Amino acid sequence: MKLHWLVALMLLVITPSILSARWITDKVIFENEDAGNIEFSHYLHLEILGNNCPSCHNEIFHIATSKNPDFTMEDMEKGKSCGACHDGKKAFTVSDNCDTCHQM
């Protein structure tokens, strides 16, 4: 009988959390002619954040990309956009190594 409860727990709780974000596009390319495009991986960030989509959407980034304003590096260094987490404390800083994000 205990096995049935374990299986039910897996089906109702664990499985949906694992599959919840698999419908999204993993790689998103932010085009930047001046400094080189930025390739963003949803799956990498979801793995690090524990599938916590609301940590970025919709406080930092809107799911409707047309609502996202353009940001400069200066804006990000002040904590906007990627700089909200990439501040040198939560994650590597946006102001250190350009090659980390910008692919030339």
Q: What is the pLDDT of residues 86-104, one digit of tens each?
A: 999 999 999 988 889 998 6
Which two structure tokens, joined as six digits, stand for 96? 């250190």
Residue 1 in this model has a pLDDT that exceeds 60: no
CATH classification number, 25-103, choose in 3.90.10.10, 3.10.20.30, 3.40.50.1220, 3.30.465.10: 3.90.10.10
Domain spans of the chain, in order of start? 25-103
Which two structure tokens, joined as six digits, stand for 58? 């919709």
DSSP 36-93: -EEEEEHHHHHHHHTS-GGGTBTTTB-SSGGGPPP--HHHHHTT-GGGGT-SSSSS--
DSSP secondary structure code for residue 94 in this structure: T
Q: What is the pLDDT of residues 3-26, one digit of tens each?
A: 666 666 565 555 555 555 557 889
pLDDT in the model for residue 18? 52
Task: Give the pTM.
Answer: 0.71
